Chains A and B, each alone.
Chain A
Amino acid sequence: MTELIGYNTALALVGALLFGFSSGHVGAFVYLRKASLLSDSLAHATLPGLVIGFLVSTFLGMEEKNSLVLLLGAGVSALFGVVVIQWITARTKLGFDTAIAAVLSVFFGFGIVLLTGVQSVSVGQQAGLEDYILGSVSGMLLQDVVVIGLVSIMCSAAVVVYRRLLTAFIFDPVLSEMAGYAQHRMSFLLSLLTLVITIIGLKIVGLILVVAMLTIPAATARLWTTGVWSMSLLSALFGSVAAGIGVIISALLPSLPSGAVIVVLMFIALGLSIVVTHLRGSNV
């Protein structure tokens, strides 16, 4: 296999297959919870953290593209975004939509200020940073794939363990509360999974399009089945296949960002599914 597509692409392919699987898996529950756009906001809110992570790793004299430090920065930044969203909705009459839109754009704007600042004082190559905006698999290292793979497996494992509790929480919050599972804890779990998937997806899909990974496969799977568990597995399968094919196409045509290719592939699958399920009359 590695002779066919090259070591680098094979690595990226493994990462994309695992990430696609777990993002589809988690995405099914996020979709049923109708909370898709939260991940869009969190993804954009990672930019300041990415740049600061880059500065820190350069300052400490690490390898310039030490992705662990960058991802840690992204995580802290997005977590701060969650806190700000919570603060705005708790303190004011402003809607949840306004809060996530404000966090999305202001954090991204501040990230751009930092990015252009880094460029103007020119500490080393910041080229690696732009890969995180639209996704690029060309510079993927073994350690990136190990991190993405392990975290993906952990997220899927969490979904397997908590699938019944999540389903109860989404469809019947009162029952779930009465059974002793506080709503805010289940909501926190789902937000945490969203956050983690968003962050490990930055490298493969990029921060602008990562929301699609949590939404489109789930919506496609929902057309084919009514069971929550079968839907989440089907969604994981769709996510995995689309991410895999997208990475291969992006490796063959390096000018095409992998994120954009993956999103267009997933949308084609969604369109075909709509047509086929309607022709069969099995749209559910």
Chain B
Amino acid sequence: MFDDFFLISFVPILTGLFSALSCTLVGNILVLRKQAMLSDTISHVVLPGIVISFLIFGNLGSHFMLVGAAIAGLTAVGTIAVLRTYTSMDNSAAMATTLSVFFAAGVLMIELTAGGNVHLDVEHALYGNLESLIWIDGESLMSVFDSVSRQTIPVELTRAIIGFVLIASVMFVYWRFLIVSTFDHTFAEISGVPVGVVSAGVALAATNAAVISFDAVGSIIVIAMFVCPPAAARVLTHSLRDQVWLSLLFSSLSAVLGYAVAGYVPILLGFETSISAAGTIATLSGVILAVAIFYGKRQRSYDFLDGHQT
């Protein structure tokens, strides 16, 4: 069962892992800013950007896809701002409108140009296709150090690693700006922190993380990677540093275990084919969150039916 590990499982596990880590890093900030649903919006709006790049460059491997999706992400942030200025919409209504329209436009583009597309379909956009990332020349661990066989590593993995390094280093450099504008917006503003730029940067980082994860887990399950590990960590600790490290741990656990469970458990149970790895990863991250809430300290009693206004 493990003979073809490097051929079949090595690249999907690493791609899932780095996608999950990137999303979780940004997710820590989103959860603290009470903008968790921004990840929902962004993961939907990148679809038309990805489709347009795909139509222009012909495959999902192109790095221009990142540019296309980033443009779509920024257009969406602009659309939200326009809707909030010219209509009576609050933030949640503007996000709901923007995400549904961009996603609908992406779906229509896919369906209208369906003739030539074998690699891009709506199911792919919804729940990804981690299992398809096969490394043809992957025979053993030594293949990683062999420059010839390294060339056949799917570009999705390279992109996930580059994206993760980019997000991690930008967050590391601007960490103080991020934190001060998240916890005390007014103080940050009078201290001269460019809070608008920081907000746009957070949206851009979320877009980046959503795009590199798009192949792996698709546009909806990616939200679980953004939200669940940071939320679980937030429940267990009051230290921000601990929260980030814990969330990265939870995120790696769900990514690696999720893939393993999806790939091997149905076979062990005697079924022919496997279940969706992306779905299993999301489910596991949810289980971790549930366990964390169940065993974490009770923090307060608050009834959303009585008083939520987000």
Contacts and interface: CB of A to CB of B under 8 A. Distances in A.
Contact of A208 (B90, B92, B103): B103
B93 interface: yes
A216 interface: yes
B135 interface: no
Interface string A34-46: 1111001000100
A222 B204 CA distance: 31
B282 A260 contact: no
A94 interface: yes
A95 B230 CA distance: 12
The bracket for how many chain B residues form the interface is: 35 or more
A257 B220 contact: no
Interface stretch (B30-38, B62-70, B151-159, B190-198): B30-38
B101 to A, nearest CB: 4
Contact of B305 (A97, A187, A283): A187
Interface string B260-285: 00100010000111111011111101
B34 A111 contact: no
Contacts of B86: 274, 278, 283
Interface string A239-267: 00000000000000001110111011001
Contact of B296 (A92, A119, A133, A134): A92
Given A89-B303, A274-B86, 19 more contacts: A36-B92, A90-B304, A92-B293, A97-B35, A97-B310, A98-B31, A101-B39, A101-B226, A105-B223, A108-B221, A109-B283, A113-B275, A133-B126, A212-B100, A255-B111, A257-B122, A260-B105, A263-B104, A267-B97
Nearest to A185: B305
A121 B272 CA distance: 8
Nearest to B230: A98
24 contacts: A31-B93, A40-B99, A89-B302, A91-B299, A91-B301, A93-B300, A94-B231, A101-B39, A105-B40, A105-B227, A105-B282, A106-B289, A109-B280, A111-B279, A120-B274, A208-B126, A208-B220, A209-B100, A212-B96, A215-B93, A219-B83, A223-B88, A260-B104, A264-B105
Contacts of A183: 305-306
A181 B305 CA distance: 14
A34 B92 CA distance: 7
Interface string B196-211: 0000000000000000
A86 interface: yes
A257 B111 contact: yes
Interface in A9-37: 31, 34-37
Interface string A59-94: 000000000000000000000000001111111111
B286 interface: yes
Nearest to B227: A101
Contact of B127 (A100, A112, A187, A264): A112
Contacts of A223: 87-88
Contact of A264 (B101, B224, B286): B101
Contacts of A119: 273
Contact of B228 (A106, A214, A255): A106
Contacts of A115: 276, 279
Contacts of A99: 304
A102 B220 contact: no
A104 interface: yes
Contacts of B123: 130
Contact of A261 (B108, B127, B228, B298): B108
Nearest to B43: A105
With a 10 A CB-CB cut-off, give which of A88, A107, A116, A121 has the most chain B CB atoms: A116
A270 B82 CA distance: 12
A10 B164 CA distance: 51
B97 A89 contact: no
B235 A211 contact: no
A139 interface: no
Contacts of B228: 102, 105-106
Contact of A110 (B44, B90, B271, B282): B282
B31 A120 contact: no
Contacts of B96: 36-37, 40, 211-212, 214-215
Interface string B86-119: 1111101101110111011101100110100000
B87 A102 contact: no
A96 interface: yes
Nearest to B105: A264
Contacts of A31: 93
B309 interface: yes
A156 B105 CA distance: 30
A280 interface: no
A257 B107 contact: yes
Nearest to B301: A90
A219 B89 contact: yes
Nearest to B109: A260
- The 9 A-B pairs at the shortest CB distance, nearest first, are namely A109-B282, A106-B286, A112-B279, A105-B223, A105-B224, A212-B100, A120-B273, A113-B279, A263-B104
A260 B75 CA distance: 19
Nearest to B238: A93
A96 B310 contact: yes
Interface string A151-189: 000000000000000000000000000000001100110
A215 B87 CA distance: 12
A104 B279 contact: no
Contacts of B105: 260, 264
A256 B223 contact: no
